[in-house]
Amino acid sequence: MEHISAAWLTEAALAAGRQGPGNLLRVVLIVMVVGCALTGWFLLRGYKRKDD
């Protein structure tokens, strides 16, 4: 197994901090997908009702 030095870990932490809006974009996409699923469920649940 390779030896991981402290300098490599420091560089990795600094690079992770410079990634930009990645986390925000992930949150926006997840909220959008969940919102679309809930909207679809809300709109389509009315088709299950039987009118006698």
Using the structure block, give the residue that is written with the tokens 């930009």: 20
Residue 33 has pLDDT above 80, yes or no: yes
DSSP letter at 1? Answer: -
Whether residue 3 is predicted with pLDDT greater than 70 in this model: the reply is no
How large a percentage of the chain has pLDDT more than 90? 31
CA distance 41 to 34: 11
Mean pLDDT rounded to a whole number for the chain: 79
pLDDT at position 32 is: 97
Q: What is the pLDDT of residues 7-24, one digit of tens each?
A: 766 777 777 667 677 778
Give the single-character DSSP code of 45.
G
